[in-house]
């Protein structure tokens, strides 16, 4: 009974202390699409994705109601780093939903506004925030009215200076003045407490990671979906520290006030998924303001390293060469690192001849009929001296040139269109991501790798029927010196039971060093003599690897590899089942260079259809 009463009281007092307006709440998921376009259109870094921020501790004085409820210690503020723009997962600050929506767009504009070169690194938070505001309003005049509405509504929510003590009142007057007239306040008065966080400005002390991840510590992402997806993306403030004494610290004084500042090292195993109460563990993690992590050379870490190690030579795929060296793009230095990555072409050791799986035979028969008709479809050829019909546009241009040219030039007399059988001269290379993330499950029914196998099976059946030249390869990686490039079908190989066996033997590998794989695929395609060359990338996530390839570095290198492929006349196109792909694929492939399959189980049916659509556009153009 006491526990039940305590729960009811906690919910009541927490609800009373909350100062938001849930009925007018706007979630980041609802505006992330237009917000990303808005942010990049205003000059924001195209490589940055938009993600939910995490609440951070502030030092402002709380109201008595917050103190009773035990809330109000943290605030969700916007900030950005080299890989992400972090915004609150939900905004319910104002009673009007439109104002909450406007606040998202204002924060995005503020983050996308560069600070002037003369701004010094030691500029105070209030001065820097005003400078950002002034530059944003100067560059984007259309935001002035929106900003003024936000300021008017926001100041009404902040404490009135007259209700505060002298030092707090001076701080609040300075902040409100800075909001109303940006640039008019040169410093923030000192006070016993920090001022209340300002929701219209960026974070005054944005979280930063205290160290880079060591090799082998970054695990491959799993394809997770559901209501907790956005919460899992939140950035946590962390620091990397040296391993302390195993004995931990000794608590000498047991005063209650000291308990809140005491930190003790506790050796805990967090490398496995077993947890008696996962919900409680997540709640505890959410209450921690800064997580300090260290590396422990224990038997558990050794086991994980062994699990991710390469298989023995007797069990591994057959290497076809000692390796091919390729460069990698270092975006920080703006140069290619020559001979940095090693591609190792491999072929399956255990693949055996196989027939098409039973559940794919019916859709394969239908696709073969569709693709067989592609080479028989007629095409209108323009610019002929004689033909089946007159090209009206060419005729009007011809008559105009005759009438307007006094020199007697009669223009191009090739005014006819002729219907001829379509001759398809195209070479396509399908590059499949075989990283660890493909070991995840789709709707708890089948694994991603099973969906990829089915898709590749139907893709091969379709292109074999059309007569188009095609190759199929898979890739995964374990650091830069071991990028596995699995040869499933070369251009010079005939599609048969042996190729079907290799497709059936595809299995999840390691990580996703996408740039090196694209460069090698580009090299293979460049040796084909076809008129059109299509590079299809089939993936379920972003570029990543055990080393620094995680994050911005991998994205920038992949983008550079795609640009290099286009410069050689290739047409790269990405098919992905990653729900977050719209955050980074436009930056990599362009807005017309990718498609997202929302339901992964639809991929086997959609992949051949996409190929037919893509090639149809190529020849129509």
What is the DSSP code string of 274-332? --S-HHHHHHHHHH-SSEEE-----HHHHHHHHHTSPPPTTTSPEESSS-EEEEEEETT
Same domain for 383 and 368: no
Q: Which of 397-401, 402-406, 486-490, 547-551 has the lowest mean pLDDT?
A: 402-406
Q: Are residues 470 and 334 in the same domain?
A: yes
Strand partners, 194: 60
pLDDT value at residue 263: 47
Does residue 240 belong to any structural domain of this protein?
Answer: no
Same domain, 511 and 603: yes
> Nearest to residue 113, comparing CAs of 46, 32, 42, 184?
42
Contact 446, 306 (CB under 8 A): no
* Backbone angles phi and psi of 267, in degrees to 5: -75, 115
* pLDDT band at 33; cut points 50, 70, 90: confident
| Mean pLDDT of the chain, nearest integer | 81
Statement to judge: residues 416 and 445 lie in one domain: no
In a domain, 224, yes or no: no
pLDDT band at 434 (very low <50, low <70, confident <90, very high): very high
- Judge if 582 and 612 occupy the same domain: yes
> Does 598 lie in the same domain as 494?
yes
Where does the pLDDT of residue 489 fall: very low under 50, low under 70, confident under 90, or very high at 90 and above? very high
- Give the residue ranges of DSSP H helices in 346-484: 361-372, 392-404, 448-466
Nearest to 521 by CA among 455, 570, 448: 570
Asked whether the predicted pLDDT for residue 311 surpasses 60, the reply is: yes
Higher pLDDT, 76 or 345: 345
Q: Is the pLDDT of residue 305 over 60?
A: no
- DSSP class of 601: G
Domain assignment of residue 273, yes or no = no
Question: CA 418, CA 391: separation in Å to the nearest integer?
Answer: 10
In terms of average pLDDT, the best of 153-162, 163-172, 279-288, 464-473 is: 464-473
- Check pLDDT > 60 for residue 229: no
Residue 82 is encoded by which pair of tokens? 């080299």
Q: What is the helix (H) or strand (E) element at residue 433, kind and residue range?
A: strand 426-433
Contact by Cβ (8 Å): 501, 353: yes
State whether 479 and 579 are in the same domain: yes
Angstrom distance (rounded) from CA 555 to CA 514: 9
Structure tokens at 616: 């149809």
CA–CA separation, 434 vs 475, rounded Å?
A: 6
- Average pLDDT (169-186) is 92
Question: Which has more confidence, 480 or 410?
Answer: 480
Report the alpha-carbon angle 428-492-462, nearest 5.
45
Give 309's pLDDT tier (boundaries 50, 70, 90): low
Q: Same domain for 124 and 105?
A: yes
Which distant-in-sequence residues (6+ apart) come within 8 Å of 395 by Cβ?
A: 415
Question: Token match 């095609």: residue?
Answer: 470
**Of the residues 405, 421, 437, the one at which a domain ends:** 421
pLDDT tens track for 193-215: 888 889 999 988 877 644 343 33
Looking at residue 247, its pLDDT comes to 47
CATH assignment at residue 492: 3.40.50.410
Q: How far apart are CA 187 and CA 127, in angstroms?
A: 7
pLDDT band of 149, cuts 50, 70, 90: very high
Confidence of residue 319 (pLDDT cuts 50, 70, 90): very high
Distance between CA atoms of residues 537 and 539, nearest Å: 6
Rounded CA-CA distance 456/500 in Å is 9
Return the exposure string of 400-439: e unless at least 16 CB atoms fall within 10 Å of the residue's CB, then b: eeeeeeeeeeeeeeebbbbeeeeebebbbbbbbbbbbbbb
Task: Show the domain range for 106.
Answer: 2-180
Q: Which pLDDT belongs to residue 410?
A: 61
Q: Are residues 62 and 162 in the same domain?
A: yes
**133 within 8 A of 106, measured Cβ to Cβ:** no
- 368 and 395 housed in the same domain: no
Q: d(Cα 50, Cα 584) in Å, to the nearest integer?
A: 9
The owner of tokens 């290799």 is: 502
> What is the count of structural domains for the chain?
3
**Residue that finishes a domain, picked among 131, 162, 180:** 180
pLDDT score, position 266? 52
DSSP count for the chain of H helices, then E strands: 19, 23
> Does a structural domain hold residue 445?
yes
> Under DSSP, is residue 452 helix (H, G, I), strand (E, B) or coil?
helix
Confidence check: pLDDT of 32 > 70:
yes
Residue where a domain terminates, one of 124, 153, 180: 180
Enumerate the β-bridge partners of residue 476.
Answer: 484
Q: Which pLDDT score is estimated for 112?
A: 86
Same domain, 327 and 456: yes
| Whole-prediction pTM | 0.70
Residue 260 is assigned to a structural domain of this protein: no
The band of 525, judged by pLDDT with boundaries at 50, 70 and 90, is very high
**Is the confidence at residue 306, as pLDDT, over 70?**
no
Give domain status of residue 581, yes or no.
yes
Over residues 206-234, the mean pLDDT reads: 44
Extended strands (E) in 462-510: 469-477, 483-489
569 part of a folded domain: yes
Residue 185 lies in a domain: no
Give the SS3 label for residue 51: strand
Nearest to 243 by CA among 267, 216, 209: 267
Q: Write the CA distances from 80 to 47, 49, 333, integer angstroms.
A: 12, 10, 21
Query: Does residue 350 sit in the same domain as residue 394?
Result: no
């Amino acid at each position: 009974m006491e526990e039940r009463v305590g729960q009811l009281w906690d919910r009541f007092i927490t609800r009373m202390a909350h100062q938001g307006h849930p009925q007018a709440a706007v979630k980041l998921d609802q505006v992330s699409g237009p917000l990303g376009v808005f942010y990049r259109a205003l000059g924001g870094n195209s490589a940055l994705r938009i993600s939910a921020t995490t609440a951070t501790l502030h030092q402002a004085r709380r109201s008595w109601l917050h103190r009773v409820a035990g809330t109000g210690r943290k605030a969700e503020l916007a900030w950005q780093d080299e890989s992400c723009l972090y915004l609150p997962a939900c905004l319910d600050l104002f009673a009007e939903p439109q104002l909450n929506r406007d606040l998202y767009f204002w924060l995005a504009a503020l983050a996308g506004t560069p600070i002037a070169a003369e701004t010094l690194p030691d500029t105070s938070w209030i001065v820097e925030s005003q400078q950002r505001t002034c530059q944003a309003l100067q560059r984007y005049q259309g935001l002035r009215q929106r900003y003024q509405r936000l300021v008017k509504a926001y100041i009404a929510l902040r404490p009135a200076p007259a209700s505060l003590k002298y030092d707090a009142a001076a701080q609040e007057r300075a902040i409100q003045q800075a909001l109303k007239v940006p640039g008019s306040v040169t410093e923030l008065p000192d006070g016993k407490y920090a001022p209340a966080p300002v929701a219209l400005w960026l974070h005054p002390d944005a979280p930063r990671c205290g160290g880079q991840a060591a090799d082998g510590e970054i695990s491959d992402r799993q394809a997770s979906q559901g209501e907790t997806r956005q919460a899992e993306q939140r950035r946590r403030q962390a620091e990397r520290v040296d391993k302390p004494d195993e004995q931990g610290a000794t608590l000498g004084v047991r005063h209650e006030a000291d308990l809140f500042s005491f930190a003790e090292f506790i050796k805990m195993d967090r490398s496995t998924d077993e947890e008696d109460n996962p919900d409680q563990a997540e709640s505890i993690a959410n209450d921690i303001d800064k997580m300090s992590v260290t590396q422990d050379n224990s038997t558990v870490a050794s086991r994980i390293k062994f699990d991710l190690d390469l298989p023995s030579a007797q069990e591994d795929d057959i290497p076809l060469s000692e390796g091919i060296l390729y460069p990698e793009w270092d975006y920080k230095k703006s140069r290619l690192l020559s001979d940095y990555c090693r591609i190792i072409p491999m072929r399956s050791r255990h693949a055996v001849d196989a027939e098409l799986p039973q559940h794919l035979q019916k859709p394969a028969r239908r696709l073969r009929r569709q693709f067989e008709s592609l080479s028989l479809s007629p095409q209108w050829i323009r610019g002929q001296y004689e033909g089946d019909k007159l090209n009206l546009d060419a005729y009007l241009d011809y008559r105009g040139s005759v009438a307007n040219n006094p020199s007697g030039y009669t223009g191009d007399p090739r005014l006819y269109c002729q219907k001829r059988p379509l001759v398809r001269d195209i070479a396509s290379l399908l590059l499949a991501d075989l990283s660890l993330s493909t070991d995840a499950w789709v709707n708890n029914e089948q694994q991603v790798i099973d969906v990829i196998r089915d898709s590749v099976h139907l893709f091969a059946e379709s292109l074999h029927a059309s007569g188009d030249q095609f190759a199929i390869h898979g890739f995964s990686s374990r650091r830069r010196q071991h990028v596995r490039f699995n040869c499933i079908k070369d251009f010079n190989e005939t599609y048969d039971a042996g190729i079907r066996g290799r497709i059936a033997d595809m299995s999840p590998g390691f990580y996703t060093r996408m740039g090196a794989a694209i460069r090698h695929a580009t090299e293979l395609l460049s040796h084909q003599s076809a008129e059109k060359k299509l590079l299809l990338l089939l993936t379920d996530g972003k570029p990543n690897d055990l080393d620094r390839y995680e994050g911005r570095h991998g994205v920038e290198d992949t983008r550079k590899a795609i640009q290099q492929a286009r410069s050689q006349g290739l047409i790269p196109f990405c098919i992905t089942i990653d729900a977050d792909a719209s955050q980074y694929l436009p930056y990599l492939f362009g807005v017309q260079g990718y498609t997202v399959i929302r339901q992964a189980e639809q991929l086997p049916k959609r992949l051949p259809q996409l190929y037919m659509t893509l090639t149809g556009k190529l020849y129509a153009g």
